[in-house]
Amino acid sequence: MSALWSRLTSRHAWLVLLALTLLLYLPGTGSIPLMDRDEPRFARATAEMMQRGSWVLPYFNSDPAQTDAQRVALMKEGRSAVEVGFRFDKPPLTYWWMRLHFHLLGFNELAARMHSVLSVWLVALVIFRLGNDLGGRAAGWWGAVGWITSLQALIHGRLCVADMPMVFCVSLAMLALSKILLSPPDKARPFSKWWWILWVSLGLGFLAKGPIALLVPALALVLYRVAFWRKPVPWGKLGLGAGVVLALAIVAAWGIPALVQTEGKFWNVGMGEHVVKRGTQAFNGRTILPGYYLISAFLSLLPWMVFLPRIWRHVRSHWDAPRALLVAWFAAPQLIFLFYATQLPHYTMPGFAGFFVLLGLTMADAEQKRSTVPAKLGSFGASYLGVFALLSVGIITAVWVGGLVPQPALRLMITSGAVMLGALAALGAAAVWRRWTLAGFSLAALVFGLAVFGASLRSIHPIVQMAPVLRGLPKESNALAWQYTEPCLVFYSDHPWTMLSKIDRVRERMQQPRTGVVVTQISEWTLAHWWKCLTSATKDEHPKAARDFQKEVDALTQAVSTDYDWTDSSGFNAARSSWVTVRVFVRKSPPKSSRAELTATAQDDGAKR
């Protein structure tokens, strides 16, 4: 058995890493509902591109009867890209990749997220290759396994978004840079395979998530030259002129048709709103926190930040050009987003691979000095892992003993999340103590927690509960939503929706025969409101929800009861971390209307909503 394992890890590392990735990333990935709001937008945009046979422009919640020219004309009149059914948030690489999995696996959550799962594995291969080249096989293994089992990778590796493909492209570009810049002068060849890998990766990285894929390697090189290594860099090896042309050609192959077809609107929205505006204005009005990314790294890189003191000592005692480049790589996104108004913990992920290669080099060096390096947590490690272990125990105790969460499925979901947090803390301790049995139990607990989390969250998702009803909606009918206007409605119904802001408009539209289904929100309990009621000095036996529309919805129900059946559904809205109750109205007789009527109604809604 040991001989087989040795052969697998030495000759087939890619296969072992793939098996570990699938073991940790498949449980829950197919059962967790698409989390509002980005996931259903990405998935549905891909589906609508497939329905139209489009490879250039992404759509979301669009009217199939409208042409692109009509949408662009409406934007010129002042309508937003969202209102006319375009989705200009991101370039198309993620949609293309997701399209492949939809063809192979069908339209479901697993297929929608498979590109992120595979990207985690590909990043692990990059880390393994670079760690192996710089510090031997042990460095490659420690770095790759650390990446696969880190918290932020475990989260974003099972999300239907564009981040993981971009992280892979950046990581591959940085691997190519290290091979080009750190190779001996006599081995430098123009237009080598690493030159091609570098510039193709940069081009594809832009197609994954825009300019961040170019900024991270560029700033990493600047930091390497100016701040960390401060020695001449053989820039000529990069073939900058031809390389820039190659990367731009890759981007232009998609970008020029996209700009022509939208008359420049794609650039205005994609760059102007989703890059520049988010850099100058905080997203959703969030508060800007100093030192946010430095602090969030301790959570994102859980449990491997436990080795931070060792990594620091190792880098200082073994300072050389490769380690300087790795530090610059990790620091680049930290510096880029230091001045960015919108703060989200995953923004700095493009630099995480550099951290894990440094982790691998540190651990490989420690393996060689095993007899002289004690396997102790130390005060930092004990404090770091202890915080998360205590947090895990505290959450479970509060949920089950304190009775803070009355809903059983929500209680189970929160508990499974706490179990996963504790499992990661235990994994970190096992790595420090070299207790591989404990590590195995930690991974088993992690897998179990992921499976339970997915099943419990699915059981309390309000729209997933209603999906069979929504899926049966005739294509000719209209679907309306009021107050509960999450994008998951569009994905799980496979149907465009009209989101209305006025209840009178809803009542008016429900009297029209072509309206088939209506979703209205009755109440919403937000986390902040729940905590306020819990800690209030005056206890109310029947506290009101943060948003209560019971009277409006009851009046609507009474007005349309002869034409509609209705049912209520309660569940967890992940987009707002809230508990909602919605009422779904379904017309008793299937609506009938012509395509012309539907188009006219959609245009009328745009003016009145």
pLDDT at 602 over 70: no
**Candidate ranges 274-278, 419-423, 560-564; pick with highest mean pLDDT:** 419-423
- Confidence at residue 220, expressed as pLDDT on a 0 to 100 scale: 98
DSSP string, 237-280: GG-HHHHHHHHHHHHHHHHHHHHHHHTTHHHIIIIIIIIIIHHH
48-101 pLDDT per residue, tens:
999 999 999 999 999 988 999 999 999 999 999 999 999 999 999 999 999 999
**Residues 593, 514 contacting (CB under 8 angstroms):** yes
- Largest pairwise CA distance in the chain: 84
CA–CA distances in Å: residue 591 to residues 29, 201, 305, 587, 602:
36, 50, 58, 7, 16
Query: What are 92-139's pLDDT values in tens digits?
Result: 999 999 999 999 999 999 999 999 999 999 999 999 999 999 999 999
Mean of pLDDT values over 434-456: 96
For the segment 549-578, what is each residue's pLDDT rounded down to a tens digit?
999 999 999 999 999 999 999 999 988 889
- Contact present, 129 and 140 (Cβ < 8 Å): yes
The arithmetic mean of pLDDT across residues 450-469, rounded, is 93
Q: What are phi and psi of 580, to 5 degrees?
A: -120, 155
Instruction: Read off the pLDDT band of 539 (50, 70, 90).
Output: low
Q: Taking residues 179-205, report their average pLDDT.
A: 89
Helix, coil or strand: residue 548: strand
Q: What is the pLDDT of residues 312-357, one digit of tens each?
A: 999 999 999 999 999 999 999 999 998 887 889 999 999 999 999 9
pLDDT at 488: 95
d(Cα 128, Cα 361) in Å, to the nearest integer? 11
At residue 407, the pLDDT reads 85
Instruction: Tell me the domain boundaries of the chain.
Output: 2-368, 378-459, 462-608
The pLDDT tens digits of the residues spanning 576-597 come to 889 999 999 999 876 555 444 4
Mean pLDDT of 498-513: 94
* pLDDT bucket at 186, cuts 50 / 70 / 90: low
Write down the pTM of the prediction: 0.93
Q: Give 505's Cβ-side CA count (13 Å radius).
A: 16
- The HSE-up count of residue 262 (CA atoms within 13 Å, CB side) is 25
What's the rounded Cα separation, in Å, for the pair 282 and 512? 41
Instruction: Name the E strands within 392-487.
Output: 478-482
Residue 402 confidence (pLDDT): 75
